[in-house]
Structure formats: structure tokens, C-alpha cells
């Protein structure tokens, strides 16, 4: 928990919530909080001598595959998605490319790198307004702006580029905001999010009473069913495992758009995924235990290590020394 990203504080709350719930259920929990002022996460994880890691990190360095990769190498099973899915989901541009490949509707967009920012007018062309500007790889609405004209767009891009080398400009979609909770590829339920300010920014997400949460969403049940199926497809397109939350916008008309998949969704006792699970009859402690039960290693490094010990060491030396194909064939005894 904790970590180095802009979502550090939320992560600490997620971590403490999960740790308390698991302790209450008799698990032996060590809280590993790392950050800019602590020892490195690798050192802390080794020192804690854990059997399994319940990941409570959000944002870059924690939700994006980095810590997942470390745990694969250390051979410690961990909760949630693997390295690749975590990295894809954290990168909003790559996630949208995957959505398009898998026929998952997502708002039209373009990306602006630091080098391209001076050509913004040309890049934006006839894209139109309002538009949403966000950093490519942030969460919790950090660095997100709604632009209704070019001056606002420029300010938004500058703000996003302060946080990330690449900004994403997306068509603004007016509609119901629905978040779907999933566990191991199966939908737990959906919740409608109605920020009182009209904008689901950082304050609306984390200030008590700033947002109304409606469960089930105010949509016909057939439509909610369709939205859930779409969320399932979005998570599958990225290959997600364990808990995840898919954020969608649903218009008054026929359209549904996937904004993003969160592979390490907020897990404080009052976060959306626990709210959705509670509505489905799964209390917070049971949800934490169900997530813990799904912890695993994905990269198959242990299996490969076991196989390679059976291969005679010297064969690798012959292959490395082989000057030509003929040498190589002699070396392997053909």
C-alpha cells in the first residue's frame, strides 16, 4: 500500500481497510507501506517474508504491472491482474487501442505528446468541443479537465502534460455514469455515480457527500444488463483477473462507452466495488477474502526454472559457441 503515485493517500486507506478486515477474519497480516521516504518496495517485501501479497496500490508503479513484475520474480503470489493486463489498463491510450480491436465502444480520442503540444490547433482540427483532457496514465481524475474552447483545451493539455509525457483528448460524452464491479471476470453489479458538482473530479470522488451513488442504476434493467456485458467484454479485452471496476458512460440514446478499466479499484470500506458487492450480498470482509483466494503467479517462471534444471547445462554452451548451422547441428547431435 501507499506507493509513489498521486493516489498514494487513497491507497493507504484501501490498504488499512483491507488489512483490518483480513485480520478480523484471522489472517496474519503485515502492512507493507512504501513511499518516497521508505526503503524500496523490493527490500520491504523481502523483509516481511509474506506468503501472498494483497495489492492495495493505485496508480503508476503499483497498478501498472511494476509491482506485479517484482512479485513474479520474487515468486510471491499476488491478487488481481497480471503484468500485461495491469500495464494495458493503466495506459489509457493502449487500453483504448485494445478496446477498438475487440469492438468495445470507447469515446473518440487523440493523443498529444510533449513534442506535439505546439501543434495542438492542427491536431485538434475539427474534433470539436466540449472535450475532456486527461493524462495518459493517471487515475482518480487527477489532471483531468473539461474544455469547451481552444484556450481551455490548451490549458488542459498543459496541465495534463505536467503529470505525464502524453495527454489524451477525448470527446465529451453526456450521459449516465455507470461503474461495473467484476471479480474474476464475473459481474458483481453496477452503480450509478452522480457527482453534485456535475463533474466526477478528485473532490467529488473523495469528499463525503459530494457524490450520490445510486444502486441499481436508473436505467431499464435490460439496458443495465447490456452495460454489464459490455464491462465484461472490456475486462476480457485487457485480460484482467481478480477484482476490477469498469467505468462507463451511457447516453440517453443508444450509445454506451467504456472509459477505462481499473485493475486495482479503490477498496476502502466505502469504495464503489465494496458498495456493489454489498448490494450483491457479499460483505466487505468476504470480498477481501474472495480477492485473496484468487492470488496467484501468472508468468510461469517457477515452471520454467524447474524445466531448465532438467536440460543438461553444456548443451547451452555448445549452442552459444556454434559458428555455423553445421556446428550447431553437430552440437545438438543431429
Binding site for ligand ADP (CB under 6 A): 107, 132, 134, 138-141, 144, 170-173, 177, 200, 247, 249, 259-260
Report d(CA 226, CA 229) in Å as an integer.
5
- Please select the residue that binds Mg ion; options are 247, 249, 256, 276, rule is CB under 5 A: 247
Give the C-alpha distances (Å, rounded to integers) separating 24 from 21, 278, 282. 5, 18, 16
- The CA-based angle 100-102-107, given to 5 degrees, is 30
Rounded least distance, CB 55 to Mg ion, Å = 18
Rounded least distance, CB 260 to Mg ion, Å = 5
Rounded least distance, CB 92 to ligand ADP, Å = 7
245: CB partners within 8 A, 6+ apart: 179, 180, 181, 182, 261, 262, 265, 266, 272, 273, 276
Helix runs in the chain, H state only: 8-24, 41-48, 66-74, 83-90, 92-101, 120-124, 150-163, 202-206, 221-238, 272-279, 284-293, 301-310, 313-321, 325-331
7 binds Mg ion (CB under 5 A): no
144 contact choice in ligand ADP, Mg ion, none (CB below 5 to 8 Å, kind-dependent) = ligand ADP
- Taking CB atoms, the residue at the shortest distance from ligand ADP is 200
Judge whether 234 and 204 are in contact, CB under 8 Å. no
Rounded least distance, CB 175 to ligand ADP, Å = 8
169 contact choice in Mg ion, ligand ADP, none (CB below 5 to 8 Å, kind-dependent) = none
Rounded least distance, CB 59 to ligand ADP, Å = 9
204 contact choice in Mg ion, ligand ADP, none (CB below 5 to 8 Å, kind-dependent) = none
142: CB partners within 8 A, 6+ apart: 6, 7, 135, 163, 202
Q: Which is nearer to Mg ion, 263 or 295 (CB)?
A: 263
Rounded least distance, CB 201 to ligand ADP, Å = 7
Judge whether 325 and 334 are in contact, CB under 8 Å. no
Question: Within a 13 Å sphere around the CA of 87, how many CA atoms are in the beta-carbon half?
Answer: 8
Q: Which is nearer to Mg ion, 34 or 86 (CB)?
A: 86
- Taking CB atoms, the residue at the shortest distance from Mg ion is 247
Q: Which is nearer to ligand ADP, 83 or 173 (CB)?
A: 173
Judge whether 32 and 1 are in contact, CB under 8 Å. yes
140 contact choice in Mg ion, ligand ADP, none (CB below 5 to 8 Å, kind-dependent) = ligand ADP
Q: Which is nearer to Mg ion, 112 or 261 (CB)?
A: 261
Provide the annotated active-site residues. 7, 140, 206, 245, 247, 260, 262, 266
Sign of CA dihedral 127, 129, 130, 134: positive
Per-position x/- string for 204-243, each x denoting binding to Mg ion as judged by CB under 5 A, each - no binding: ----------------------------------------
Q: Tell me if residue 37 falls in helix, strand or coil.
A: coil
Closest CA to 260 of 71, 83, 95: 95
50 contact choice in ligand ADP, Mg ion, none (CB below 5 to 8 Å, kind-dependent) = none
Q: Which is nearer to ligand ADP, 124 or 134 (CB)?
A: 134
Q: Which is nearer to ligand ADP, 32 or 237 (CB)?
A: 237
Torsion of CA 189, 190, 196, 197, to 10 degrees: 130
Cell numbers at residue 92, please? 489509457
172 contact choice in Mg ion, ligand ADP, none (CB below 5 to 8 Å, kind-dependent) = ligand ADP
Residues in contact with Mg ion by CB under 5 A are 247
Amino acid at each position: 500500500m501507499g506507493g509513489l503515485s498521486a493516489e498514494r493517500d487513497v491507497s493507504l486507506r484501501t490498504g488499512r481497510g483491507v488489512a483490518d478486515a483480513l485480520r478480523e477474519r484471522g489472517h496474519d497480516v503485515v502492512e507493507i507501506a512504501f513511499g518516497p521516504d521508505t526503503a524500496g518496495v523490493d527490500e520491504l517485501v523481502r523483509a516481511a517474508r509474506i506468503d501472498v501479497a494483497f495489492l492495495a496500490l493505485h496508480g503508476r508503479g503499483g497498478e501498472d504491472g511494476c509491482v506485479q513484475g517484482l512479485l513474479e520474480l520474487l515468486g510471491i503470489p499476488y491478487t488481481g491482474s497480471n503484468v500485461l493486463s495491469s500495464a494495458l489498463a493503466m495506459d489509457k491510450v493502449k487500453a483504448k487501442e485494445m478496446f477498438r480491436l475487440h469492438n468495445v465502444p470507447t469515446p473518440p480520442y487523440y493523443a498529444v505528446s510533449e513534442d506535439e503540444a505546439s501543434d495542438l490547433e492542427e491536431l485538434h482540427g475539427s474534433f470539436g468541443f466540449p472535450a475532456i483532457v486527461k493524462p495518459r496514465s493517471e487515475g482518480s481524475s487527477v489532471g483531468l479537465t473539461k474544455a469547451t474552447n481552444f484556450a481551455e483545451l490548451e490549458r488542459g493539455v498543459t496541465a495534463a502534460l505536467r503529470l505525464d509525457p502524453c495527454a489524451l483528448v477525448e470527446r465529451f460524452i453526456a450521459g449516465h455514469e455507470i461503474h461495473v464491479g467484476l471479480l474474476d471476470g464475473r459481474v458483481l453489479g453496477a452503480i450509478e455515480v452522480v457527482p453534485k458538482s456535475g463533474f466526477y473530479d478528485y473532490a467529488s470522488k473523495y469528499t463525503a457527500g459530494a457524490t450520490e451513488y445510486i444502486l441499481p442504476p436508473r436505467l431499464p434493467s435490460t439496458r443495465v444488463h447490456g452495460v454489464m456485458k459490455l464491462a465484461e467484454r472490456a475486462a476480457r479485452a485487457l485480460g484482467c483477473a481478480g477484482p476490477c471496476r469498469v467505468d462507463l458512460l451511457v447516453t440517453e440514446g443508444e450509445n454506451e462507452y467504456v472509459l477505462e478499466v481499473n485493475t486495482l479499484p479503490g477498496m476502502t470500506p466505502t469504495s464503489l466495488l465494496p458498495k456493489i458487492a454489498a448490494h450483491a450480498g457479499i460483505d466487505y470482509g468476504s470480498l477481501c477474502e474472495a480477492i485473496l483466494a484468487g492470488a496467484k503467479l501468472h508468468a510461469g517462471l517457477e515452471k520454467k526454472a524447474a524445466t531448465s534444471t532438467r536440460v543438461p547445462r553444456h548443451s547451452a554452451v555448445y549452442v552459444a559457441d556454434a559458428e555455423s548451422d553445421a556446428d550447431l547441428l553437430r552440437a545438438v547431435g543431429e
